Amino acid sequence: MNETKQKILDVALDLFSQNGFSAVSIRDICKVVDIKESSVYYHFKNKQAILDELLQHFESIATGLMNQLEQALTITQKTIEENLFEQTCDCFFEKYLMDEYCNKIMRLLSIERLSNYEMQEIYNYWIFDKPLNFQTKVFSLLISIGIIKTADSKYLAVKFYAPIYLFAQQWLFCGTLTDEHKQFFRGNAYEHINNFFKEMEGI
Partner DNA sequence: AATGTTATCTAACGACTGTTAGGGAGGGCG
Partner DNA sequence: CGCCCTCCCTAACAGTCGTTAGATAACATT
Using CB distances below 5 to 8 A depending on partner kind, what does residue 133 bind out of DNA, a second copy, none? none
Do 157 and 139 touch, CB atoms closer than 8 A? yes
* Residue closer to DNA (CB basis): 47 or 113: 47
Task: Identify the three-state secondary structure at position 49.
Answer: helix
* Sign of the torsion angle spanned by Cα atoms 55, 97, 116, 154: positive
Do 144 and 170 touch, CB atoms closer than 8 A? no
Using CB distances below 5 to 8 A depending on partner kind, what does residue 179 bind out of a second copy, DNA, none? none
Give the Cα separation of 146 and 148 in Å (integer).
5
* Residue closer to a second copy (CB basis): 146 or 202: 202
Residues numbered 1 to 30 that lie near a second copy (CB under 8 A) are 17-20, 22-23
Q: Nearest distance from residue 41's CB to a second copy, in Å?
A: 23
One character per residue 46-85, x = contact with DNA (rule: CB under 7 A):
xxx-------------------------------------
* Sign of the torsion angle spanned by Cα atoms 152, 157, 163, 165: negative
Nearest one of 44, 61, 150 to 102, comparing CA atoms: 61
Do 107 and 127 touch, CB atoms closer than 8 A? no
What contacts 19, CB < 8 A, 6 or more positions away?
none
Give the Cα separation of 93 and 12 in Å (integer).
25
Classify residue 109 by burial, with Cβ atoms within 10 Å: 0-12, 13-18, 19+: buried
Using CB distances below 5 to 8 A depending on partner kind, what does residue 195 bind out of DNA, a second copy, none? a second copy
One character per residue 10-49, x = contact with DNA (rule: CB under 7 A):
--------------xxxxx-----xxxxxxxxxx--xxx-
One character per residue 72-111, x = contact with a second copy (rule: CB under 8 A):
-----------------------------------x--xx
* Residue closer to DNA (CB basis): 2 or 176: 2
> Where on the chain is the footprint of DNA (CB under 7 A)?
2-4, 24-28, 34-43, 46-48
Binding site for a second copy (CB under 8 A): 17-20, 22-23, 107, 110-111, 113-115, 117, 120, 123-124, 128, 155, 158-159, 161-163, 165-166, 169-170, 173-175, 192, 195
